[in-house]
């Protein structure tokens, strides 16, 4: 029988149940270290002459099961689980870049990704430029001899703009540059950048992969040989590893990823269809909007349009904060991809670390709010927004 569908591979496991009392669920190895049969086995394991677990910062069976599954789901060679999405971002970029290098970034990125780039620019002389990656000529103009990486989020947090992966990857391959795609907003269920030729995929697994708002985690998927280098240097020595219980929770969350993403997409479309005609909304940014400037690219590049809607409210920051404060079902909180609908104000929250001049370039205004549509009844989500509009305007 051939390779099963993704929906099936999300659920089924890789471990040999016969070695684990027939356990259906993957066992949880909540341990920091592993006992050797004798001193010689310890020597053999550390030297690499014998495979096996040593210490959970170097590998853990529960974490390995998650990594195998994520590599499979993203159609990649190998995956590494990290303590957070930012640990995955920094782990991969530290591996790929050295002093004097340059990296091109999609015009919008998560605020702390921007903060990380500012830090390595100042401390380690790794330069970066943000750019709107929608013009082949512009990208080629911005590439320098020292450019080593094109880093993109698509959709971009929080503006929901898209980057044409096939176009960016084509240029990168011609120029001998690596492409890293942060696939957090889609999960492998809606988009698989490695199948388009990207070199690395990154996830804040905190979001849709977990789906239950109870784990902070990151994942990187990439070429096996380089991932081993990252595992045994960048991650081992910086130490941003994921704990076994968090890996176990992610394995549990992945089982329902397909069902949850379908529901997030359905619910977001339901909300959009009502929100788009609301007089208190100045602009709305949702890939599933037929009037969205990149709607055709969204249809081509994504399986469905996701669970996130960003929109600008009439009246600026004060009105946006009043609106958020009137919500009862939707929770005012950062993060996304949870069962609960969440709303946040990027300019003063997730992207507050980005200087205002850069935020403006990214299209992040004080009127912008980002809604992560959850798994509740979409009717209740919309009614909550409607009553908040009535009280705010």
Would you please indicate which residues are annotated as catalytic (active-site) residues? 57, 110, 182, 207
Q: Is 106 one of the binding residues for ligand 4LM (CB under 6 A)? A: no
Of 56, 64, 157, 192, the residue at the interface with ligand 4LM (CB under 6 A) is: 157
Q: How many Å apart are CA 59 and CA 391, to the nearest integer? A: 53
Cα 89 from chain centroid?
9
> In the complex, what is the shortest distance from the CB of residue 112 to ligand 4LM, in angstroms, rounded to a whole number?
6
Please tell me whether residue 85 binds ligand 4LM under the rule CB under 6 A: yes
CB atoms within 10 A of CB 51: 8
Q: Which is nearer to ligand 4LM, 172 or 250 (CB)?
A: 250
Nearer CB in complex with ligand 4LM: 204/365: 204
Binders of ligand 4LM among 221-260, rule CB under 6 A? none
65, 153, 164, 289: which one binds ligand 4LM (CB under 6 A)? 153
From residue 30 to residue 59, the character string flagging contacts with ligand 4LM as x (rule: CB under 6 A) and all else as - is ------------------------------
241: which DSSP letter?
B
* Chain centroid offset of residue 41 CA: 39
* DSSP codes joined into one string, 73-115: HTT-SEEEEESSHHHHHHHHHHHH--TT-EEEEES---HHHHH
CB-nearest residue to ligand 4LM: 85
Q: Which of 56, 60, 62, 84 binds ligand 4LM (CB under 6 A)?
A: 84
Q: How far apart are CA 243 and CA 203, in angstroms?
A: 16
Q: Is 285 in the site for ligand 4LM (CB under 6 A)?
A: no
Cα distance between residue 110 and residue 285, in whole Å: 16
Q: Please identify which residue in the block is written with the tokens 């991650």.
A: 235
Q: Which of 134, 350, 367, 392 binds ligand 4LM (CB under 6 A)?
A: 350
- C-alpha to C-alpha distance for 202 and 213, rounded to whole angstroms: 19
Collapsing DSSP states into helix, strand and coil, what is residue 344?
Answer: strand
In whole angstroms, the minimum distance from the beta carbon of 345 to ligand 4LM comes to: 11
Q: Is 159 in the site for ligand 4LM (CB under 6 A)?
A: no
Q: Using CA atoms, how far apart are residues 150 and 102, in angstroms rounded to an integer? A: 9
Binding mask 180-199 for ligand 4LM (x = CB under 6 A): --x-x---------------
Q: Is 44 exposed, middle or buried (0-12, 13-18, 19+ CB in 10 A)?
A: middle
Nearest distance, CB of residue 216 and ligand 4LM, angstroms: 5
Chain contacts with ligand 4LM (rule: CB under 6 A) = 84-86, 89, 110, 112-113, 153, 157, 182, 184, 204, 206, 216, 218, 334-336, 350
């Amino acid at each position: 029988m051939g390779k099963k569908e993704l929906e099936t591979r999300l659920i089924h496991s890789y471990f040999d149940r016969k070695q684990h009392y027939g356990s259906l669920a993957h066992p949880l190895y909540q341990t920091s270290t592993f006992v050797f049969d004798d001193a010689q086995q310890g020597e053999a394991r550390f030297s690499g002459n014998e495979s096996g677990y040593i210490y959970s910062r170097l590998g853990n069976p529960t974490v390995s099961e998650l990594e195998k599954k994520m590599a499979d789901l993203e159609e990649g060679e190998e995956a590494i689980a990290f303590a957070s999405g930012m640990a995955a971002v920094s782990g991969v970029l530290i591996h790929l870049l050295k002093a004097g290098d340059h990296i091109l970034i999609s015009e919008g990125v998560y605020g702390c990704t921007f903060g990380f780039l500012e830090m390595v620019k100042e401390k380690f002389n790794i330069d970066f430029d943000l750019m709107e990656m929608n013009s082949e000529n512009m990208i080629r103009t911005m590439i320098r001899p020292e450019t080593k990486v094109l880093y993109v989020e698509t959709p971009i947090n929080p503006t929901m703009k898209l980057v044409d992966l096939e176009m960016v990857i084509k240029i990168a391959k011609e120029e001998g540059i690596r492409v890293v795609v942060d696939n957090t907003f889609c999960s492998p269920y809606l988009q698989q950048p490695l199948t388009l030729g990207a070199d690395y995929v990154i996830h804040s697994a905190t979001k849709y992969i977990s789906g239950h708002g109870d784990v902070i985690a990151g994942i990187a998927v990439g070429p096996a040989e380089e991932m081993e280098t990252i595992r045994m240097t960048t991650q081992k020595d910086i130490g941003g590893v994921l704990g076994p219980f968090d890996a176990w929770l992610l394995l549990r969350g992945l089982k329902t990823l397909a069902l949850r993403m379908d529901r997030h997409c359905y619910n977001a479309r339901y909300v959009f269809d009502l929100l788009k005609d609301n007089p208190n909304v100045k602009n709305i940014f949702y890939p599933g909007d037929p009037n969205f400037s990149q709607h055709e690219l969204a249809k081509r590049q994504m399986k469905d349009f996701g669970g996130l809607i960003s929109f600008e409210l009439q009246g600026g920051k004060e009105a946006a904060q009043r609106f958020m404060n009137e919500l009862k079902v939707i929770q005012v909180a950062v993060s996304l991809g949870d069962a609960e609908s969440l709303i946040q104000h990027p300019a003063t929250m997730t992207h507050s670390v980005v200087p205002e001049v850069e935020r403006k370039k990214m299209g992040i205004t004080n009127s912008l709010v980002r809604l992560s549509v959850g798994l509740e009844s979409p009717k209740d989500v919309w009614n909550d927004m409607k009553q908040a509009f009535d009280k705010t305007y």
